[in-house]
Amino acid sequence: MVEEPGRLKLTKRFLVCLTLVSISLALSGCPKKPTFPFYPDRDAIVDTITEDLPDVFNTQIIDLAVPDTTSLSTAYWREIDRVGRRIAVSFFYEGTPHEIPLAEVAVLDSMFGYFHLLIIDTSYTPPIRLRVRKPLKELATIQAKFEKWGEDKDPRKGWILTDISGVEIHSGVSSRHLSSATLQALSVGELTLTGSQIRSARSINEVPELSFGESVNLNATCGDSADIVFMHYDGSEDLTKRKMYPIGEKTFRGSFSTPQSAGYYHVTVDIISLSTVTSQDTTIYDSKRWGILYKVD
């Protein structure tokens, strides 16, 4: 019996389709190695800093509000109008503790603006009130360490923050010094940190934990009893500045209450030299700040 040409073509076409389906099913049954978009380790760490933990790496930790000078004879405040950030990351993939990759990080923020000074000039008769604007250039530094405990498929490629410092911010030329800062609160008892400890990276598990709305005393011992010392902290709505008062030789005290919401915050010791707030010389600006990182939980 001779098969008709049309039926023969249909049979061949059916066999070809059946073969393709079989191959497709066989390939779909084979395990495939997952692929991920290219995501450099540095990008993973930078994204953690800027997107996941911006409060931990925040250097804008002072009250920049302009005071009402209508009835004031003297006043001073900062204006920061430009900030440039650089993040330096050094990777170590071998010979590290626990034999896992680690990264040492320095976050460097350069700040530019003006220090505004309102003073009474007694060289005139009668004395007059003068407004002086001093150029401001400061550098803020945060130190940190990351370790890679996960795999490339994990969020941020498995990099986690393990060590973190507070913030140190200093003017271009500064001789201000912080010997120690002591937090007094029910949650932590009495915790004393030197200026060196504040600016050095320590385990994130050592960050002081305070309660919601907790009352805290802050004592700061500086290098000169004539220094002007302020404290900046997160208030109910925004950053708040409060002048610290002397309680002993070179030691100043302030108090604040922690925020009512969970998160990471800074309380900042802000030291300004006496000559900065009394001299009309626009080149004299000597200031240094230490931001102590704490957690409300």
- Encode pLDDT of 135-161 as tens digits: 999 999 999 999 999 999 999 999 999
Q: pLDDT, tens digit, for every residue of 161-208? A: 999 999 999 999 899 999 999 999 999 999 999 999 999 999 999 999
Look up tokens 């109910």; give the residue: 236
Q: Tell me, what DSSP letter sits at residue 94? A: S
Residue 64 located in a structural domain? yes
**Hey, what are 207's tokens?**
């960050």
Integer angstrom CA distances of residue 51 from 47, 48, 54, 82, 124: 5, 6, 6, 20, 54
pLDDT category at 123 given cuts 50, 70, 90 is confident
Total residues found in the chain within this entry:
297
The pLDDT of residue 162 is 98
Residue 8 included in any domain: no
Q: Helix (H, G, I), strand (E, B), or coil: what is residue 273?
A: coil
pLDDT class of 237 with cuts at 50, 70, 90? confident
Question: Does position 16 have pLDDT exceeding 50, yes or no?
Answer: no
Q: Does 225 reside within a domain?
A: yes
Q: How confident is the model at residue 73 (pLDDT cuts 50, 70, 90)?
A: confident
Count of structural domains, the chain = 1
User: Is residue 28 situated within a structural domain?
Assistant: no
271: helix, strand or coil: strand
Q: Is residue 62 part of a domain?
A: yes
- The secondary structure of residue 221, as a DSSP letter, is E
Say whether 262 sits in a helix, a strand or coil: coil
- Is there a domain that residue 278 lies in? yes
Q: Which domain holds residue 119?
A: 41-296
